[in-house]
Each structure stands twice: as structure tokens, then as C-alpha cells.
Amino acid sequence: MTAQIKMKTPLVEIDGDEMTRVLWALIKEKLLLPYVDLKTEYYDLGLANRDATDDAVTAESARAIHRLGVGVKCATITSNEARKAEYHLRNLFPSPNATIRAILDGTVFRKPISVSTIKPSVSTWRKPIVIGRHAYGDQYKAAELRIPGKGKVELVYTPADGGPEKRIPVAEMKGPGIVQGIHNLDESIKSFARACFVYALDEKLPVWFAAKDTVSKIYDGHFKEIFNEIYETEFRDRLNAAGLRYFYTLIDDAVARVVKSEGGFLWACRNYDGDVMSDMIASAAGSVAMMTSVLVSPSGAVEYEAAHGTVQQHYYRWQKGEKTSTNPVALIFAWTGALAKRAEIDHTPELAAFAKKLEAAALQTIEAGEMTGDLLALANPAPAKSLNSQEFIDAIVKRLEA
Ligand code: NAP
Ligand code: MG
């Protein structure tokens, strides 16, 4: 074995639950520890420890990412009544991802991992399409009301400083119906735009942004204005110098162009558009197990994870002694993403090269026809049989050693 690669600064390691926790340990043992003198600040966000610490460990892990700048997170269970009974929990806590996101105030970027033998359903896509989803406001923080019958609905703003009230009619209801009030904040939209442009510069991608400002002149129009203002005042020169362009269009035009495009751009999406379109991109690109996710904070701190959950059903089979064919690729790429970012910040090219080498080894393994069951139906040519997770990781090790 060659000498281990040294790390200058630790990164934040956030352990999680179920099948992904099993894979996490396996990835470290087989793919990382033999090659890297891994320096991490470890936080156990397994459900038992979140319960034991009254969820304090979740906020601590987010603050650690803020301090150290780079984190990698395993998938975690979001507790509910069923999980409370299953794990004998004392309390229910919010989704760890929501807690971490609230502390780091981030934008989530999701990117498919491409393999030459797995073709996207959209035949023109040659390069991945990355979705940047604004994760604040709009329909996700809406006030909604069922209207029982005829009457007037109004929008009222009462200034905190006692200034004059503003009031506009929403609808003169002719009968029963529904009404919804949504909002967003300039600061949040600005930090969303900044996160997208920073990501685009980092990944050398052009940026697309879309809304429906022809219909929603004030609300969607404001998103367009802010995005444009941040581009013009803070990013135009840097993007131009990198040969990257910013493109705004109407959301329906964007959707039509996306499915005729070659890919290879960042699609900045409003909250609802990002929710819907990231599922479309994931499924058209291949599989949720081949999708990375990174949270980028306006402070520059980043957290890498897999886009999928804890793969609960596989875990129950694993507990019974079965060897499952769970795909570890997105988890491996979460680690390589974090190591590469650490290497970039610390100027440690050896570590960056290792991250690249591990990614290449994982992709070559799949391209050589050695893969987990979820990819079998997508690959062309498809191999006769799938490997279990352990065999697949061993096959990556063989290429890493070669
Ligand atoms: P999931 O864990 O993503 O799994 C859903 C299904 O997708 C699996 O049953 C499996 O399909 C397939 N799948 C996902 N990842 C796979 C992989 N790596 N390899 C092979 N197949 C994979 O979603 P879920 O079952 O809805 O959620 C389970 C738990 O995860 C929940 O407690 C939820 O709270 C949590 N969760 C956490 C995160 C996060 O921490 N980021 C995100 C989402 C969900 P087959 O069964 O057909 O093989
Ligand atoms: Mg969705």
C-alpha cells in the first residue's frame, strides 16, 4: 500500500441511519481509510443519539460546518410517530436537513452522476443538468383559507412602524372556494441568487433562471429583478471572464428548452419549480441513487450528501442477514465532493487527485458492467447479474489499486 495522503484541516463528518449508516462504515473502511489519513470532526446524527441529546447534536453539527467550511452527511431518518415507537424515542424532532439548512441558510444543488452506459431518457442530454432550488418561502410558507361562500377576500399589509395600511382586493368570491397567500423576502432571494452564481463559477456552468413575470408582474417580476441586479452588480465580470453566461427566460420556455438541450448548465429554480423539476431531472437522468446533493451557504460553507434517504426497506432485509444490493455511489460522491472541497481550500492537490481517482474508479466499475441492482434495468449493455453492495465496493477497490 502507498503512503496515506495527509489532510491539513478536518472536515465535519455527520453519520446517519439505517442502510446508509451501514454503507457509510463500509465506504470509510474500504475506500477511504486505506488511502487517506482522514481527519474529521465526527457527529452522530443517528436517531438514537439525536434523541439522547434532545437534538442538540444536529445544531452542533451545522455550526461545525460553518466553522470548518466543509461537511459530509449521511442520510438520516426524519422522525414521526411510527419511528417513535420503532426506536423508543422520547421526543419527535424536525428533519435534521431542515435544521441544518435553517442554520446555514443555504441553497440546495442537485446533480446527476453520469455514466456512459446509462443513457438519460432525454436523448439530447449529453451533460448533467444541475438544479439549484431556492428553499425558502412561496407555497412552502403559505397561509391558506377555505372560503365557505360568497364574500370579499383582501390582501392587507400593516407596516410595523405605524405607517398607512395597504389593502388590495384579491377576489369577489361568487361562491365557496379557496385562497392562498404567499410571500418571499429580498434577503432570501438575494442569497439564493448569490449561491447560484458562486456555484456556477465553481463548477464552470452557465446559469438559467426562469419565472412567469408576464403573468405575475410584481411577485415573479421581483425575482427576475433581484436575480438580474445580483448578476449585474456582483457576478457579471467574473462570469464573463470564465466564458459563462446568465440566461433568463419564462418558466414554460425554460421547460421546453431543457428537454431539447444538451444539458451542462445550472437551472436555478424557484422553490416549487425546484421541487418538481428536480424529481423530473433525477428520474430522466437515471436513478435517485445516482444523484448528489450539496447545500451551499452564503458564508461559503458547504455540506455534501446523497440525494436519497436511508433506504429503510433494504436495511430491514440486511438486519435479517441478507446481502442487499444497495447502491453506494451517491454516498461515495458525497465523500469525494467534501474531500475535493477540503483540498481546494487547503491547497492539497494530492487529496484532490485522490477524490478524482475514487470517482473515476466507481464510474469505471459500472461502465465495466459491475453494478448494483437498481442500475441493471437502466444500463446498456445490461450485465447478467447485479452485485451486492460489498461486492460492488470490492470491485471499486480493485480499480483503485490498479
Ligand atoms: P429512500 O431511502 O430514498 O428509498 C426509497 C426507495 O428508493 C428505496 O426503497 C429503493 O427502492 C430506492 N433507493 C433509494 N436509494 C437507493 C440506493 N442507494 N440504492 C438502491 N435503491 C435505492 O426514501 P424513503 O424510503 O422514502 O425514506 C426512508 C427514510 O429516509 C425515511 O425515514 C426518511 O425520513 C429518510 N430520508 C432522509 C433523507 C436525507 O437524510 N437526506 C432524504 C429522504 C428521506 P427499492 O426498495 O425499490 O429497491
Ligand atoms: Mg420533489
Three-state DSSP at 60 gives helix
Nine-digit cell string for 82: 411510527
| Model confidence at 156: pLDDT above 70 | yes
Burial of 28 (0-12, 13-18, 19+ CB in 10 A): middle
Q: What whole-number distance in Å separates Cα of residue 158 and Cα of residue 96? A: 34
Q: Mean pLDDT across the stretch 354-368?
A: 97
CA-wise closest residue to 133 among 280, 282, 273: 273
pLDDT-based confidence at residue 2 (cuts at 50, 70, 90): low
Give the closest ligand to the alpha carbon of residue 377: 1
For the chain, the average pLDDT equals 94
Partners of 115 in beta bridges = 118
- Segment 31-60 mean pLDDT: 97
Q: What is the pTM of this model?
A: 0.88
Cα(38)–Cα(335) distance, rounded to whole angstroms? 11
How many Å apart are CA 15 and CA 25, to the nearest integer?
9
Q: Is the pLDDT of residue 331 over 60?
A: yes
Given pLDDT bands bounded at 50, 70 and 90, which one contains residue 84? very high
Nearest to residue 371, comparing CAs of 347, 388, 359, 355? 388
Average pLDDT, stretch 98-113? Answer: 87
pLDDT band at 175 (very low <50, low <70, confident <90, very high): very high
> Taking the CA of residue 344 as centre, how many other CA atoms within 13 Å lie in the half-sphere pointing to its CB?
15
90-117 residues labelled b (16+ CB within 10 A) or e (exposed):
eeebeebbebbbebbbbbbbbbbbbbeb
Cα 305 to averaged position of ligand 1 atoms, centre (Å): 13
d(Cα 90, Cα 88) in Å, to the nearest integer?
Answer: 7
Structure confidence at residue 1 (pLDDT): 53
- Distance (angstroms) between ligand 2 centre and the Cα of 304 equals 19
Pocket of ligand 1 (CB under 6 A): 75-78, 97, 288-289, 305, 308-313, 326-327, 374
H/E stretch holding 248 reads: strand 246-250
Q: Which residues contact 255 (CB under 8 A, 6 or more apart)?
A: 277
**Contact between residue 76 and residue 116 where contact means Cβ atoms under 8 Å apart:** no
Confidence of residue 105 (pLDDT cuts 50, 70, 90): confident
Q: Torsion over CA of 253, 256, 257 and 261, rounded to 10 degrees?
A: 170
| Distance from C-alpha of 223 to C-alpha of 88, rounded to nearest angstrom | 45
Distance from the alpha carbon of residue 155 to the mean position of ligand 1, in angstroms: 41
